[in-house]
Amino acid sequence: MNTKTLSELEDKYVGKQGTPERDAYEKELSDLMIGFQVRNARIKLDLTQEELAERINKKRAFISRIENDGSNLTIKTLRDIVERGLGGKLNIEVQF
């Protein structure tokens, strides 16, 4: 059996790191992870999308869009969701 790592599969099917295709893939994956983390935190706190939206003065549909996509989100809005809405602390890391 020829077992491959996730990185090897990504290189083969998406493109090598540093290529435009791989960069776009990793950005989209990162956006999805933001939405996934917001959703998991909301569920862990036993909040509905409506309740979270009310805490940050947004509509439920906005929270749904964030949870399902996570893209096109400002840092200010993400901070509002995490800190005001979920009672957490936002940490941002820059990697080179």
Task: Compute CA 34 distance to the chain's CA centroid, rounded to the nearest angstrom.
Answer: 1
Cα→Cα distances 32→1, 2, 57, Å: 32, 30, 23
Predicted structure pTM score: 0.78
Enumerate domains of the chain plus CATH numbers: 6-85 (1.10.260.40)
| Per-residue pLDDT tens digits for 10-52 | 999 999 999 999 999 998 898 899 999 999 999 999 999 999 9
Residue 71 confidence (pLDDT) above 80: no
